[in-house]
Amino acid sequence: MFIDFEGIDGSGKTTLSNLLAAKLKRLGYRVAHAREGGELQAPTARRVRELTRDSRLLEMSPRAEFFLNLARDAQQLDEVIAPALSRGEVCISDRYLYSQLALSGGGRGLPLDELRPACELASQGLWPDLVILVDVDPDLARLRKRLGKLQSKRVSDSDSRKGLAGAGLAVRVRESFLEMARRDPQRWLILENNDVPLRVLEQRLVDAVVARLEGREQQVQRIVPVSTSRRPEGPVTVQNVEERFFQALDAVEQREPALAVWLLNGLPGLPAHQQRLAFAERFPGLVARGMNGLDDEPAMDLREVLAELAPAEVAFSLTGRTCTRAAMLRQRLYAQAPAEVLASLKNDGTPQAWALRERALRDGKLAEVLAGLAGQDCEESWVVREAGMQRKLYADVARSLTGLPGSRADALREVLLPHDRLAVLRSTLGLDTPVARGVREALAGKALKLVLRSVTGLDTEEAWALRERGAPLTKEALDSVDGMNAPRAWKLRVEHLGRWPTTAVSSLVGLPLGPHAQALIERVLAAHPNKLPLLRNAYAAVATARALSARPAGTRRLDADAANRVEA
């Protein structure tokens, strides 16, 4: 029997496919997994996959990507799947040709009628007996994927080729999978993976697969495991969103405690702080990292407590903090986490920050100093950038230019463009310069997510044109109006509320909780009262607005981006 798992990135298909393989082996079945442990078993297929993920290959067309992915699956079929089936084994795959139809057709927009014959050729007539679609809310999948990277220490500012298209790609791919399942209900089994413990999903999955192996009739196409947590009754409003969010958080803690910690990322206020204290002993690294952007005394106190347990994460959380306590803590953490300490110095031009940079340069940490040099336009900073150019640290030099205006910065960007276009694009964050406009125009069709993020906060015709073209395709168009109160920002939110409700709400973080904001939040909550990422972002908007209003006049500034960062 040939069993294929499909689903968007972050759906849990890899985890569940490996759990199924292990369980079937314990039950006495002979099982082969074509992607055991998350790794393609055919070496040639692994090499091909590296090409399809390489974000530097910006000129790769959707058609070329499709044929490369097809080659990968054909190699897996020839080298792993077909031999296992010929031996009479149960063969499990994590992605098959359906993924290429969903990505290239649903995601990239190539005509499905032209893709199917090529898939038939690659399949040699061999298609799965059972396709298990692990279905999940794309917003939740993105949270889990980001959390997984953090826990496995795979955090970077780079993107895969799929990532460059923006979060909307996953939404379109999911819709394509669901349509394929609808058209072939006897072959496809849909397993929802939103709000139940993994052990419950695993058991329901094993029961369904064993029924197929034993020749028993499958009665349902969609398996919706019953949630073990009781959902509160009644509507969610701005007035009770805090209570409802923390109720939901308690339920998440029971099944995915690390996710519960991550949902607190950047949230201000006493209730969130108390929750962090409760999690600090079990998850010191996640708790520390989740304080990025928080500058109150309780947050600083907790950083000092966690400094020995999670030095790198505490250092990361100091980004943007220029107070004396932050400077002293960096000095304390430098020996244990120099890279994170130096990266946290972005936009920090204090004498203490420069003393730390000079110490690091003496230690030979040029690349790390460049990583935290954003916002610096003094002569010392340009000397460091010149040293970086001599050492060919092009991506690090570009990173040091992030958000930096001026002809000198633009001239260096033009020199860097042939070496790393994406790094230069990232450096244009919030800038309206000829170079920034030219890079965006050149890369809008190749790296839409980064282009849209680079116009965050910009109120220019070019920025609005990019947002309006990009909004039907991906949520990052709304991310770029975070905290903006302009009429066109409100128009964009309202027009695309149905497609990107979670992001429309997160874009309100940093704004006062006026009538428009309240109405938008309550409209979305009424439509999706149990959507966890949306509930979290609604509470972030409310809690941040309250924190801002509680501050004395003249000091009402909060890092609203930190409260939104959990969604990135």
User: What is the SS3 string spanning 439-496?
Assistant: HHHHHCCCCHHHHHHHCCCCCCHHHHHHHHHHCCCCCHHHHCCCCCCCHHHHHHHHHC
Place of tokens 């031996």: 87
Distance CA 35, CA 37 (A): 6
Two tokens at 71?
């080659």
Q: Which pLDDT belongs to residue 155?
A: 64
> How far from 521 is each of 107, 202, 526, CA to CA, in Å?
29, 35, 9
Q: Which pLDDT belongs to residue 198?
A: 84
Distance CA 333, CA 257 (A): 27
Distance CA 321, CA 324 (A): 9
State residue 115 phi and psi, 5-degree precision.
-85, -35
Q: Which pLDDT belongs to residue 567?
A: 45
Place of tokens 């409260």: 563
Q: Which pLDDT belongs to residue 266?
A: 94
Q: Do the Cβ atoms of 303 and 291 come closer than 8 Å?
A: yes
Q: Do the Cβ atoms of 539 and 242 come closer than 8 Å?
A: yes
Two tokens at 558?
């909060």
Of how many residues is the chain composed?
Answer: 568
The single-letter DSSP state of residue 566 is: G
Q: Do the Cβ atoms of 169 and 200 come closer than 8 Å?
A: no
Provide long-range contacts, Cβ within 8 A and 24+ apart, for 76-80: 76/34, 76/40, 76/41, 76/42, 76/45, 77/122, 77/123, 77/124, 77/126, 78/42, 79/41, 79/42, 79/44, 79/45, 80/32, 80/34, 80/41, 80/42
- Radius of gyration over alpha carbons of the chain, in Å? 25
- Where are the domains positioned within the chain? 2-223
Return all residues near 31 (Cβ < 8 A) that are at least 6 apart.
21, 24, 25, 89, 90, 91, 92
State residue 135 phi and psi, 5-degree precision.
-100, 135
Q: How far is CA 305 from the centre of its chain?
A: 29
Distance CA 133, CA 493 (A): 31
Q: Which pLDDT belongs to residue 61?
A: 95
Q: Return per-residue pLDDT of the chain as tens, 568 residues.
A: 999 999 999 999 999 999 999 999 999 999 999 998 889 999 999 999 999 999 989 999 999 999 999 999 999 999 999 999 999 999 999 999 999 999 999 999 999 999 999 999 999 999 999 999 999 999 999 999 999 888 887 766 667 889 999 999 999 999 999 999 999 999 999 999 998 888 889 999 999 999 999 888 666 688 877 666 667 778 999 999 999 999 999 999 999 999 999 999 999 999 999 999 999 999 999 999 999 999 999 999 999 999 999 999 999 999 999 999 999 999 999 999 999 999 999 999 999 999 999 999 999 999 999 999 999 999 999 999 999 999 999 999 999 999 999 999 999 999 999 999 999 999 999 999 999 999 999 999 999 999 999 999 999 999 999 999 999 999 999 999 999 999 999 999 999 999 999 999 999 999 999 999 999 999 999 999 989 999 999 999 999 999 988 776 555 455 556 556 554 4
Q: List the end-to-end C-alpha distance of the chain, in Å, as a whole number.
A: 39
Is CATH 3.30.450.20 what the domain over 2-223 is classified as, yes or no? no
Q: Which pLDDT belongs to residue 555?
A: 52
Q: How much is the pTM?
A: 0.93
Q: Do the Cβ atoms of 100 and 115 come closer than 8 Å?
A: yes
Place of tokens 């990277």: 149
Q: Which pLDDT belongs to residue 384?
A: 98
Q: Do the Cβ atoms of 210 and 27 come closer than 8 Å?
A: yes
Query: Quick one: 219 exposed, middle or buried, by C-beta within 10 A (0-12, 13-18, 19+)?
Result: exposed
